[in-house]
Structure 1
């Protein structure tokens, strides 16, 4: 299928943004129930990573290629139930042809189980939004396969928030690029997030949130914490989100269970920042007290096992380098 002409793609994008605004502004409504798509077991196995593939890279022996091959094997062998793509899939400002020519030959095998975060930086740049959404929906010439969430839900716009239940866990996927390019929309989506988490919490779900730019993170020479995300963090703390996943920093970090005041508390969020997909790694330039584990010398990906009682195991799998991290968080 050929992508829509630019004028119609722009109109489609504006319609999607307007719909998101209406949802966010509807303060009295509840989040629509999730459609009956794929069912998941009581213990859900997940792989996650972001910041995946460099400019014009298609080398299977590159850090990106090794990560892609390892996760693809997990997909093919049915050793994971879902792969969470944490954004910045292809560098630097990709178009359809870049996803098809470079990302797909390495990472295309993950598509049958791919749940992608919308609104990441490099896949978002103003005027480029439609390329990632077209690719994930199988509308870029050369690749017709759809990501798992698109197979289940249909078209998802780049910048559209959505949520998905994995077993007894409720995951909310947020477009963090709005805070950079359209802060008003980011603020309005706080209302949508509040209703989404309220509904899931009332249903007895354990809560997780996925977004590209991290709030609980060390500084690097390129990026600091996304301080503008604080309204989202306050809502996450309000409903006692247990787990967050993000990328962007080009290294790996794990926080203590942390609250919205940067304090380590028993009922806080365990924040993983996993941007070790294949892009060049960055050293840290600060040391926040809430970070319990970090390294910037190893590419790899995070594996999680989420249990029905809210407990979870984690294990960072190195694919280029030797640093790792593993542990268990008990049930609340």
Structure 2
């Protein structure tokens, strides 16, 4: 079986991991639980995966790390992360060794998090040898890595069933009758009829320095018995594609095709003699394997870093037989059922502003924060527990000066894990440094037009700019004219608007009539919800109009400014304020239905306060 890396290869960096994203934008519904096989499986949309292992270089090896840019043979995690961004996958699979050399948490924050960590919300890791060396793997990936005592798991993506296994034999059994092998067979039995992809660290077959290893034949045998289509491994730092074969290495058109995708960025190994059934292999540049999974086929493409001319791409059709349909019980009288009224699935949002503390401050405390200050890590854990379809940030993403470096050290390792599903509204501090537009890119809008809108489910969402020193917020301004046109084009949809400075608030800054015109336009188009930040408190208002009069047909405002930076005190209680809180940090969870919305404020661990409710509308 594979052993740990030798001293020379300890310069290499660790593997990428994929966590299932619950993102409505590009992320399939793996995190919502496995879906039953459907006869309509051919209607499933293709799923795009980005896969690699041995990803992030050791930041303490200053020469090889080279400020995060690496060298031709070392620490190229930044370049391979750019490939993942280019692929724009539904999910990322890591085939082991995410962070070199020893998987320490501090190294994750400096190397893996600013690069591959951008895709944390959609990453599913398989554990590698170095992932056991320190506390970083389980601490960084959390529940996405499985529990330390059971690091194998499975999930569905589109029509496919995906299985992550543990090949580190010193930690878990891989033989016939082992707990993992029995679990694998039970899992495959429960998912008969679905195309199957399995991935783990140590390879059964390889032309790299570790070679083929029959230790993992029992895992292959179980997958072969259940007609799996694909296996992907990562221990050898090479790229290799095999013809379909059986567990004993005999070519078999009905067998499993294996890929080795171990060129995630840490270091490269040198290929040895090609083993039987190897169709192509490569060791000259780093790169990422792109897989596109359709119900009746899969396509592959190896994408090397900029400057390389090598590629490998192809397509393989598959046949999957659905399990038999259950025989329906006869009924004495057949009564036609009425056709159900089509309805959109509810959309779950996690919402908070004023999030990440200054990493140069004593209160930062190595990212853990202190009571009342810099608790971005704790609130990010709340977001993870909500498992949202999207994250809304009503301003002040990175505290104080908002430099790009502070984003990488404070926001990115925490809330940045949900970057691919995040929609920000610009706040005061977001104008102070270069971080906001550089970090969020197109998701933040253009610097000269920072307001935008989009649809989620049946709802229309609008992000506005309330920083009146930078953009006009009054009637007949360019922004208000755009808002009127946007809402007119989306008549009939329930509307949620979010921006930084609140129209109404009982906190430090109080009510602000400057945003009367925003509210007036939203009221005219029957908006349901408004969310702001700026005041570092939580507050819920009764529905009201633009002049602060209670109105059941008006918009309900929430102030959700307890994202983690610091806490403010309440001042004069504003009319129509129904609920207020400022004892601990927390996140607002909103669930949007076609004809209703639900809210729940979730405080950080240790907080006992909650506020929840439901509002229906016509």
TM-score, normalising length from structure 2? Answer: 0.41
**Aligned equivalents of 2:506 and 2:616: distance in 1?**
25
Deviation at 1:185, TM superposition (A): 8.2
**CA-CA distance at 1:163 after TM superposition:** 0.3
- RMSD between aligned alpha carbons? 2.3
For 1:239 and 1:224, the matched residues in 2 are separated by 26
Q: Please say if 1:97 is aligned against 2:383.
A: no
Cα distance in structure 1, aligned partners of 2:481 and 2:501? 19
Q: Work out whether residues 85 and 114 of structure 1, in 8 Å CA contact, stay in contact via their aligned partners in 2.
A: yes
Q: 2:589 aligns with which of 291, 303, 313?
A: 303
Q: Are residue 247 (structure 1) and residue 533 (structure 2) matched?
A: yes
Find the residue that maps to 1:237 and give its secondary structure. helix
Tell me if the contact between 1:298 and 1:322 (Cα under 8 Å) persists in the aligned partners.
no
Shift of the alpha carbon at 1:72?
A: 3.2
Q: Deviation string for 1:197-233 (max 9, x for gaps)?
A: 11111xx21111010110021141xx23232111111
For residues 140-197 of structure 1, what are the alpha-carbon distances to aligned partners after superposition, in whole Å with 9 as ceiling and x for unaligned?
xxxxxxxxx73xxxx73245211010111100000111x1334378832111111111
| Cα shift readout 1:79-107 (whole Å, capped 9, x = no counterpart) | 32111112111110111111112211222
Residue 451 of structure 2 is matched in structure 1 by 161
Q: Work out whether 1:328 is the aligned partner of 2:614.
A: yes
Structure 1 residue 317 and structure 2 residue 606: aligned? no
Residue equivalent to 1:49: 352
Superposition deviation, residue 330 in structure 1: 1.1
Matches within 5 A, 1:10-49: 41-49=344-352
Say if 1:53 and 1:216 are closer, same or farther in 2 by CA, change over 3 A: same
Larger radius of gyration: 2
2:503 matched to which residue of 1?
Answer: 215
Q: Secondary structure at the match of 2:594?
A: coil
Cα pair 2:382 2:587 within 8 Å, conserved:
no
Task: Quote the Cα distance in structure 2 between the aligned partners of 1:192 and 1:183.
Answer: 12
Structure 1 pair 96–61 and aligned structure 2 pair: CA distance change class (3 A): closer
Say yes or no: does 1:200 pair with 2:504: no
Q: Which has the higher contact order (CA 8 A, sep 6+)?
A: 1
2:437 aligned with 1:133: yes
Rounded Cα–Cα distance in structure 2 between residues aligned with 1:122 and 1:207: 27
Q: Counterpart of 1:28?
A: none
Counterpart for residue 378 of structure 2: 66
Instruction: Give the distance between the partners of 2:382 and 2:422, measured in 1 at CA.
Output: 14
Q: Which SS does the other structure have where 1:180 is aligned?
A: coil
After TM superposition, the score normalised by the length of structure 1 is 0.75
Q: Is residue 255–residue 272 contact of structure 1 (8 Å, CA) maintained in 2?
A: yes
Number of matched pairs: 266
Q: 1:110 to 1:41 in 2, by over 3 A?
A: farther
From the superposition, tell whether residues 185 and 236 of structure 1 become closer, same or farther in structure 2 (CA, over 3 Å): closer
SS at match of 1:183: coil
Contact 1:276 1:301 in 2 (8 A): yes
Task: State the alpha-carbon separation in 1 of the partners of residues 462 and 489 from structure 2.
Answer: 12
TM-aligned CA deviation for residue 61 of structure 1: 5.9
Q: 2:402 and 2:549 mapped to 1: Cα distance?
A: 38
Larger proportion of helix:
1
State the SS of the aligned residue for 2:430. coil
1:85 is matched with: 393
The answer to whether residue 451 in structure 2 is matched with residue 122 in structure 1 is no
- Structure 1 unaligned blocks of 5 or more: 3-39, 138-148
**Alignment match, 1:32:** none
**Structure 1 counterpart of 2:461:** 171
